[in-house]
Amino acid sequence: MLAIARSELIQILRNRLVLVTMLLVPLAGSAFYMYLHDRAPDLLDLGAVASVLMFLVVVMALYTTAVTTLASRRQNLFLKRLRSTAVDDVRILTGLLLPVTAVTVVQVSVVLTVLSVVADAPAQPLLLVSAVLSTVVMMLGLALATAGVTNSPEHAQVTTLPVMIGVLAVSGWVGFTGTEELTLVKRLLPGGSAAELVVNAWNGGVAVSESLFLLALTLAWVVVAVTLATRVFRWEPRR
């Protein structure tokens, strides 16, 4: 598994397009939102900014890159060759996705740390960590499901759009408008409960029971995504 992860990390570092998608785009977006908050702190709630920044990095750096990576490795038959070895399926996928996941977690940590330094620190750091990790797992599950219907790295530019735009739109909607209206709808949509978790973790003043409920809703999407992935994920190119 570690050998696969090391090989995958080398491939990521050699691919300029992937590096731009993973690093420059999320960081540029993060800098933009921090700039907006600095210019108009009364208009942008800090928890909402943290939520949007977290989702921007996780969706752009983790989700899209993971789908592209799996589609590429399937197309060049690398997945098929790995399956002929003694390594089981879970370790193969873990090895392939570990580098991009680690890079994403580091990016999110840096972005949120900078935000806490230039603005105010989160009120509930442990809840924030739980929100970030649950979001990462959710997006990994959605990436596996999307990769199942993605024929090539080029095709990934199309297949990732619905989830990418949808999750970013929902997280922004929840972050900037709250959940006072259409509460259940916002929480049930993918990314809605996780976005609310981040906002609550940063701003504070939320009961533990409500936080656990939001965490459970986020993990429910993990179950849905993984279940879908087991049905549609393919190890060989479609003939």
Q: pLDDT below 70 — which residues of the chain?
A: 1-2, 5, 7-30, 32-44, 238-239
Lookup: tokens for 40? 């108009």
Domain positions in the chain: 2-232
Buried/exposed code over 21-60 (b: 16+ C-beta within 10 A; e: otherwise): bbeeebbebbeebbeebeeeeeebbbbbbbbbbbbbbbbb
pLDDT at residue 198, as a whole number: 92
Look up the pTM and report it: 0.87
pLDDT of residue 1: 67
Q: Which of 183, 177, 166 is nearest to 221 (CA)?
A: 166
Neighbours of 95 (CB within 10 A): 19
So what's the pLDDT on residue 169?
Answer: 93
Question: What residue type is assigned to position 92 of the chain?
Answer: I
Task: Return the amino acid letter for 108.
Answer: V
pLDDT in tens, 140-150: 999 999 998 88
pLDDT in tens, 75-90: 888 888 888 887 888 8
Looking up tokens 């936080």 gives 211
- Residue by residue, DSSP assigns the chain as -HHHHHHHHHHHHH-HHHHIIIIIHHHHHHHHHHHHHHH-TTTS-HHHHHHHHHHHHIIIIIIHHHHHHHHHHHHTTHHHHHHTSS--HHHHHHHHHHHHHHHHHHHHHHHHHHHHHHS---S-HHHHHHHHHHHHHHHHHHHHHHHHT--STTTHHHHTHHHHHHHHHHHHHHHHH-SSSSHHHHHHSTTHHHHHHHHHHHH----HHHHHHHHHHHHHHHHHHHHHHHHH--SS---
